[in-house]
Structure 1
Amino acid sequence: MNVLEEWTALVCRELGIDPARVDRAAVLDLTRDVAHGVTRPAAPLTAYLVGLAQGAGTAPPDAVERLSRMAGDWGRATAETLGDS
């Protein structure tokens, strides 16, 4: 078991989460996309917001994929928005 797996297992136990429900790869991919496409501090915040939405039952099933796409389009979308002023 590597450090990331150990940490995930420990946090899941502490928070009462079934580790089988954690898609570590999806979360890491999302945070990478946001960190590179938007800004680094947005990555953990986005992961936290997805978790809140999941817990509240308001996150769409494809939330992670949609947010990854949004992060990839961020530069273009921002340029278009700034061009509208």
Structure 2
Amino acid sequence: MSEKTLPPEALDAWAAALRERFGLAEEDLPISLILDLARDVAVGVARPAAPFSAFAAGLVAGRAGGSPADVRAAAAAITELAGTWEN
């Protein structure tokens, strides 16, 4: 398995490809919000919890209606939990 590094412009291109493929608006994929969520969970809980938590944020947001505000609320709740997590 090769390790890949994704420069910022490639991340933007990947996000654009996802938006196009799934008919999403730019506000539907808040890159910095999701990266911040992943960082906060990786630091506050554990690295493997980061992608799982990002998935959970999407699931929770989708069940709440799926708006960008729902994504922000789910990410905020998970970030708050990660900030107080003691294992």
Structure 1 length normalisation: TM-score? 0.75
Measured in 2, the distance between the counterparts of 1:61 and 1:19 equals 14
Tell me, what secondary structure is at the counterpart of 2:85? helix
Aligned length: 76
Measured in 2, the distance between the counterparts of 1:31 and 1:62 equals 15
Equivalent residue for 1:41?
48
Q: How does 1:30-69 map to 2 (within 5 A)?
A: 30-57=37-64, 62-69=73-80
Amino acid at match of 2:82: A
Unaligned runs of 5+ in 2: 1-7
* Deviant stretches of 4+, over 4 Å: 58-61
Amino acid at match of 2:57: V
Equivalent residue for 1:81?
none
Measured in 1, the distance between the counterparts of 2:72 and 2:82 equals 18
Seq. identity, %: 34
Unaligned runs of 5+ in 1: 79-85
Equivalent residue for 1:15?
22
Q: Alpha carbon RMSD of aligned pairs, Å?
A: 2.1
Measured in 2, the distance between the counterparts of 1:28 and 1:11 equals 16
Measured in 2, the distance between the counterparts of 1:2 and 1:61 equals 23
Measured in 2, the distance between the counterparts of 1:70 and 1:42 equals 12
